[in-house]
Amino acid sequence: METAPKHPPPRSSSHEVLTGEAGDPFRDLVIRDLKYRYDDRITPEERAYLRSPEVLQEWLDTLKHLRREMQAQFAQRKAAANQFQKECFERGYEGKRAWFEYKADYDEWRARGNRYIAMISTRQDEAKRLIRERRQRANQHSYEGLLVWLLGKRRGRG
């Protein structure tokens, strides 16, 4: 007796892919910044705040966390899809039809997820660049201060 495959793994809406869990205002701000190119969900002041020295590291940490979450979703969905494929193929031709219908949705979800990862990577690169530039300015300032101090000391001897 053939058994019908279990229901396909739940489909993730684009909302789930792009927002994940809610409730953290800073995280929500970072997510809105990720979608900046596609709509105006974030103000210029909010974008500037994320790039301010006070929160640069938190912004980068949040982006890293979002990337890890998406990678975990990829792994979970792939495992569920593989299990569903196995169950469908055990049913023969009728199961294949169910699998290919699901596979089209899965591929679309995965493409959206890949675009999301690309947006995260772009923002991570920006955050790292801003952090690096800030450190270089700080190092240059302390180097200039050291030079002034050394030159002043030297003049005092001469």
Q: 44-73, pLDDT tens digit by residue?
A: 899 999 999 999 999 999 999 999 999 999
Q: What is the mean pLDDT of the chain?
A: 83
Q: 18-47, pLDDT tens digit by residue?
A: 444 558 999 999 999 988 665 577 888 999
pLDDT at 67: 97
Cα distance between residue 109 and residue 3, in whole Å: 27
Residue 101's nearest CA partner among 13, 18, 9, 14 is 9
pLDDT at 42: 86
Mean pLDDT of all residues in 3-17: 48
pLDDT at 64: 97
Q: In sequence order, what DSSP letters do the residues of 56-100 get, joined into one string?
A: HHHHHHHHHHHHHHHHHHHHHHHHHHHHHHHHHHHTTHHHHHHHH
